A and B are shown apart, each in its own frame.
Chain A
Amino acid sequence: MKLILSILYIVCTFLCKNVLSFALLLLSAVLLLLISRIPPRIVLRSLRALLFVMLFTAVLNLLFTKGETELFAFWRIHVYVEGVYSAVFMLVRIMVLILSTSLFLTYTTTPIALTDAIESLLSPLRVVHLPVHEFAMMMTIALRFIPTLMEETDKIMNAQKARGVDFSSGGLIKRAKALIPILIPLFISAFRRADELAMAMECRCYRGGKGRTKMRVSHLHASDFVALLMMVLFGAAVLYLNRLGLFYTL
């Protein structure tokens, strides 16, 4: 359910086209943050991680959007007013996107609930023989083993350092080459793990999705429908404000 909501929200994010609707978007994001009571520090940290991507897209938008009113020109670079607008919009868009997805999914949902959600959303596809359960299982296992493999990478790196492999000097190519002695042992051990895990799963009576039940069945509550209704209203508001076409429209 949360998954549907966040997908809708993302769609809305991309529908926003003018100043008013963007104002609404920002307002909604701030409201959501306040409701969720996630410490602002964590939110800021997640934003900072993607700062580079955000700035990069903003600059690209700034430079490559062509418009009628030229702001200034420097050498062969022309910056238009439209470019500034679209850069700012893009920035806000990405920011809201990150905020909302992390809000909906990573901070308030366990990975298991997430894979469950994906499984149930995709389950209609089972009719056309897509291995939906297997896909969800793969995601779960991947999530489970990421920390384990990270730890292992660390160990291997230290082991190779102890054998005199140098990871921190030389050019790009040399460094890339130095990664080979990490990747090979990592792959070998990952395969061995996969083998053992498969056996352990077999011992615990795993036979695919057939006849499987779930410990947690997620029920739709009234509040879920209220949320859906609010989301639809929000989308409608965004579309309406777009139509007003005040100031600037993309």
Chain B
Amino acid sequence: MTMNDIYIHAKNLVYAYREEDGLKMPVLHGISLDIKRGEYVAVLGHNGSGKSTFAKLLNMILEPESGELVVAGRDLCSPELTEDDLFALRREVGMVFQNPDNQLVATIVEEDVAFGPENLGVPPAEIRKRVDEALETVGMTAYARHEPHRLSGGQKQRIAIAGVLAMRPSCVILDEATAMLDPVGRREVIETVERLNREAGMTVITITHYMNEAARADRVVVIDDGRILMDGTPREVFSQPEKLMAAGLDVPQCTALVHALSEEGISLKGTPITTEECADLICRALEEKKNGNRNA
């Protein structure tokens, strides 16, 4: 792996919020993490564990206290970082937040998508092209002239994603972007993001409380009280339910089922992370058992 493949490099990253009385409240206590270009990473952690804080460090909404942080080839801790570097970074690392209402700026969908490129000073004809492309990508072309407040939550979030895409980023960070959506809206957003990851090779970091969402990622990182507790493929992470529970998290239902069965003495091989896998596993186990009984 060359240095170029590493998109985000964090080492011993520390951050503390300053309270009004001047006291520091440490939130991140030394995060070390490397994320490759084009990776699809889910970040888990209980409320207040510092996930959002970490995300905000990645595009310099917050500045790290100490440690190393390199994002898209820019050293965010170097004192020579200029304002232009900052904007170049924010162009590359797009953020989508939880509340769809509080991140749309304009009164018309396409104007909102144009907001980012307008800020970047892109020429008008080019903005037009980018807006059309971005709306196309998220499947919202038909809504270009609509007013955002008349859209569903999932549609609003897709517009927010389009707004980020129009800046031509190389990475999208979703901070609980699906938390306020119903199952349909959630699926719309996840599918959009996964397509970006697969087809455009975009680095995707999604912060979520939904284990089923995390299970679809290439990699799961669990943050617990400002530290990285676990880091691995979804299968590796979800095969340790005790550790997850200790961090105040659940495992996907099917994983929990298999785990509960094994505690009852019915052990199945492997850790399923999707419902289909789980069903398969149980069917196969039953089949084997039948065959075993027949042979005996």
Contact = CB atoms under 8 A, between A and B. Distances in A.
**Does chain A bind chain B?**
yes
B108 A110 contact: yes
Interface in A181-215: 193, 196-197, 199-207, 211-215
B188 interface: no
Contacts of A205: 87, 90-91, 116, 119-120, 167
Contacts of A111: 107-108
B105 interface: yes
Interface in A140-161: 140-141, 143-144, 147-148, 151
B232 interface: no
A37 interface: no
Contacts of A203: 59, 61, 90, 94-95
B194 interface: no
Contact of B127 (A110, A193, A213): A213
Nearest to B115: A204
Given A212-B118, A212-B119, A213-B122, A204 B164 contact: yes
Interface stretch (B1-9, B96-104, B261-269, B280-288): B96-104
B11 to A, nearest CB: 24
B104 A144 contact: yes
Interface string B103-130: 1111110110011111111111001100
B118 A140 contact: no
B107 A213 contact: no
B149 interface: yes
B167 A204 contact: yes
A8 interface: no
A41 interface: no
B87 A196 contact: no
A127 interface: no
A98 interface: no
Interface string A204-230: 111100011111110000000000000
Interface in A55-70: none
A193 B121 contact: no
Nearest to A196: B102
Nearest to B114: A215
A215 B123 CA distance: 8
B148 interface: yes
Contacts of A212: 118-119, 121
Contact of B118 (A151, A199, A213): A213
Contacts of B115: 201, 204, 206
Interface in A102-122: 110-112
Contacts of B114: 215
A207 B87 contact: yes
A193 B101 CA distance: 8
Contact of A197 (B90, B102, B110, B167): B102
Contact of B124 (A148, A197, A199, A213): A213
A86 to B, nearest CB: 40
Contacts of A199: 61, 97
A197 B103 contact: yes
B234 to A, nearest CB: 28
Contact of A144 (B83, B95, B107): B107
Nearest to B160: A200
B131 interface: yes
Interface string B147-182: 111000000000000011001000000000000000
Interface of B: 59, 61, 83, 87, 90-91, 94-95, 97, 99, 101-108, 110-111, 114-124, 127-128, 131, 147-149, 163-164, 167
In the complex, the 6 A-B pairs of residues with the closest C-beta atoms, listed nearest first: A200-B103, A196-B102, A215-B114, A215-B127, A204-B116, A205-B119
Given A197-B103, A205-B120, 5 more contacts: A193-B102, A200-B103, A205-B91, A211-B121, A215-B128
19 contacts: A112-B108, A140-B107, A144-B148, A148-B101, A193-B101, A196-B99, A197-B103, A200-B97, A202-B61, A203-B59, A204-B119, A205-B90, A206-B115, A206-B119, A207-B119, A213-B117, A213-B118, A215-B118, A217-B124
